[in-house]
Structure 1
Amino acid sequence: MRDRVVAAVIGCALLTGIAVEYTVRAAHRGRGPAASAGSSFDLRAGRLVVRDMTPGPGRGRISAVAGSTRTSVGPRCVRFHAAAGTGVCLNTDPGPIPRTYAAVLDRTLREARRVPLPGVPSRARVSASGRMIAWTVFVQGDSYTSASFSTRTGILDTRTGRTRTNIEDIPLTLDGHRHTSPDVNYWGVTFARDDTRFYATVSTKGRTHLVEGDYARWTARTLRENAECPSLAPDGRRLVYKKRVSADPADPWRLYVLDLRTMRETRLAERRTVDDQAAWLDDRTVMYARPRGAGGSDVWAVPADGSGAPRILVPDAASPVLLR
């Protein structure tokens, strides 16, 4: 795919650049869960797993969180997700020519397969069954908030081994009509339980849309405008996503939940911008990362029905996922 220039300021931004991931070290604030060095863990159901953003040598490692204890012995990742004993870790090996890849991890976090990727890691998802894996990377620019960027989104079927390194050739129906355009970009895939239906963001002609795709039939159609980086609830009935509410590049998005049966939106109680592909702690709670300080971030949680108030779920963390 050739790089494309998207004129509008759109999308869901990368929380930090690759250089920041490897070079920024904030002062230790002493409020995060204690790391349990030398321990090991697997992708066991019921565990809350994050990327450890605590300043120090373990920064970026995959960690299991249990109360005030944090076990940080997994691989380093720039993005991470897992389900049903399968994980995906997006990372970049530094060097004169940095090499980005998606590592498919087994239940014990050992690398089972590596897929070379052409850009900067952005998003990662595994389907509930562990079969389907998706990723998004930037191939031009380093943020969805920049005026010029391009992405590539790929999907891997771990059962068949088939890999689609770029889904931009999927036939797209936009507002009821077949749409073709050289500026189409996809990102932020989330899978339904049947391992064929998925949701994602597509941008074209300066607008973003929520799309529903069918992997088996290889088709996609838009559902509504202005919805970015969706994440499907465990009940399969709702999506959480970011919606642009302001032209201010420092404060553009708010979190909304969409009921897929009624297509009714609910604005969540988080009143600050959220620059992440949110995840679900359970059917009642959404969790997401928000940046803090010099390259740090915390994982927050907020009720999915619009009530309550946001709270810190895991300090010094990112890429949260509750293993199911």
Structure 2
Amino acid sequence: MRAGRARRVLILLAAVLVLGGVALGAVLHAAGRAADEGRERAGAPRVRPGAVVLGAAGRGVFRNMAWGPHRDEIVSVDARDPAGPRTASGVRCLRFHAAGGTAVCLRSVRRGLRDTYRAVVLDARLRERGRYELAGVPSRVRVAPGGRVAAWTVFVNGDAYAGGSFSTRTSVLDVRSGALDRNIETYRFVLDGRPRRPADLNVWGVTFADDDRFYATAATGGRTYLVAGDRATRTLRSVHANVECPSLSPDGTRVAYKKRVAGPSSDAPWRLYVLDLRSGRETATAERRSVDDQAVWRDPRTLVYSLPGDYGSDLWTVPADGSGAPRVLTEAALAPVFGP
């Protein structure tokens, strides 16, 4: 009887192993088929490996979102044909920005069963110059125009701005010396002309004017503010209310940003606006969909931003003065940087 019971157990174990192998094979086959279909999809961007150089005349750079072996790699395209063939660098990033011959790539690092995150400083040929461990999930990154200073924001609690229950940490790096301000919430915060030390302060989304001066979003008491930051004096001063993820124009006179507006969905509450820093006048762009991105100025008149697409993200463009209409610039792309 014991022998019969043992045979039944062995048969049962064999059946489980066979079924498990069949299931695993089906999953792997489906994953491979999905990947192949992604690669072969009609109209998908053409991507080939090659050299990518920051600041090359007539070239744009961004994170490639097209399915295939080069997904998440930094690629370059002819700026006159942003939907054209892409040159893939082999450098993978979750967030990316570059200026003045310096780039910062925020990437994941697999350690055992969990991901950690790292900021990697790159030169104009995307070679590593330094690395810094991150305290949370990457959110935003910017490099100052001269390439000598960089800033990044991570989520240390929560993973999105929309829900309201999150905590951020923004660090500013002097690329030349390696000196790192790990959390600029320690800067002196001046709200409406009065120094404040709120326990709930969050700061994110830096955009640089130069190596010392920048703008960012500060949040406290359930409200957000555009703040002007100064590294030399270590201060943050409020400028305008209801501003998130600012982006300073090339001439330093305007800021493009996400403005929270009343709408049908609390998960999609933002519209893309432009603030004139001298007059305080706000201009709504012609983009009426919710934009959860830190827009980029393609030139003094044009904004570029991401919206969800078939590959995860597409780049769209719209005039900064409220005229015109949104149009697709590049499919399957994120984090654009435009050369001279």
Q: Alignment partner for residue 126 of structure 1, among 117, 121, 143?
A: 143
Task: Find the residue that maps to 1:94 and give its secondary structure.
Answer: strand
TM-score (norm 1): 0.88
Alpha-carbon distance between aligned partners in 2 of 1:280 and 1:32, rounded to the nearest angstrom: 26
**Which range is displaced more, 64-73 or 112-121?**
64-73
Counterpart CA distance in 1 for 2:207 and 2:108 is 23
Larger Rg: 2
Cα distance, 1:261 vs structure 2: 1.3
Q: Distance in 1 between matches of 2:164 and 2:219?
A: 13
Q: Residues 64-213 of structure 1 correspond to what in structure 2 (within 5 A)?
A: 64-66=76-78, 67=81, 68-95=84-111, 96-192=113-209, 194-213=210-229
The residue that corresponds to 1:237 in the other structure is 253
SS in 2 for 1:168: helix
- Measured against aligned partners, the alpha-carbon deviations of 1:47-77 in whole angstroms (never above 9, x if no partner) come to 2111000011211000101121211124110
Aligned-pair identity in percent equals 53
The 2-side partners of 1:148 and 1:127 are apart by 29
Residue 282 of structure 1: aligned partner:
299
> What is the CA–CA distance in structure 2 between the aligned matches of 1:32 and 1:243, rounded to whole Å?
33
Give 2:51's aligned residue: 40
Q: Is the 8 A contact 2:52 2:88 kept in 1?
A: no
Tell whether the 8 Å contact from 2:254 to 2:277 is kept in structure 1 after alignment: yes
Q: What secondary structure is seen at the aligned counterpart in 2 of 1:182?
A: coil
CA contact (8 A) 1:253 1:273 kept: yes
Q: Tell me the secondary structure at the aligned position of residue 305 of structure 1.
A: coil
Cα deviation code 1:178-200 (max 9, x no counterpart):
111111011000000x3111000
1:158-216 per-position Cα deviation (integer Å, ceiling 9, x unaligned): 12221011111000100111111111011000000x31110000111111110001111
Q: Which amino acid aligns with 1:181?
A: P
Contact kept in structure 2, 1:51 and 1:60, CA below 8 Å? yes
> Which deviations, in whole Å up to 9, do the C-alpha atoms of 1:263-304 show, x marking residues without a partner?
1111001110001100011001000111124x6110111111
**Amino acid of the residue matched to residue 197 of structure 1?**
R
Secondary structure of the structure 2 residue equivalent to 1:148: coil
Cα distance in 2 for partners of 1:78, 1:31 equals 24
Aligned residue type for 1:142:
D
SS at match of 2:308: strand
More helix by share: 2
* Structure 2: 5+ residue stretches without partners: 1-33
Provide the residue aligned with 1:266 in structure 2: 283
Contact kept, 8 Å, 1:103 with 1:112, in 2: the verdict is yes
Whose RCO is larger (CA < 8 A, sep 6+)?
Answer: 1
- Equivalenced residues, count: 298
| More deviation, 139-148/127-136 | 139-148
The equivalent of 2:74 in structure 1 is 62
Match of 1:89, SS? strand
Query: 2-side partners of 1:244 and 1:235: how far apart?
Result: 25
Runs of 4+ in 1 over 3 A off after TM superposition: 24-30
Alignment of 1:302-321 (within 5 A): 302-321=318-337
Unaligned stretches of 5+ residues in structure 1? 1-23
Retained in 1: the 8 A contact 2:108–2:117?
Answer: yes
The residue that corresponds to 1:249 in the other structure is: 266
Letter of the 2:51 counterpart: S
Alignment-mate amino acid for residue 158 of structure 1: V
Any idea what the Cα deviations from partners look like across 1:196-242, whole Å, max 9, x if unmatched?
A: 11000011111111000111111110011100000111111111000
Structure 1 Cα separation of the partners of residues 42 and 173 of structure 2: 40
Distance in 2 of aligned mates of 1:284 and 1:33: 27
Offset at 1:45?
Answer: 4.1
Whether the 8 Å contact between 1:40 and 1:73 is mirrored in structure 2 is yes
Alpha-carbon contact 1:62-1:72 (below 8 Å) kept = yes
AA at the equivalent of 2:329: L
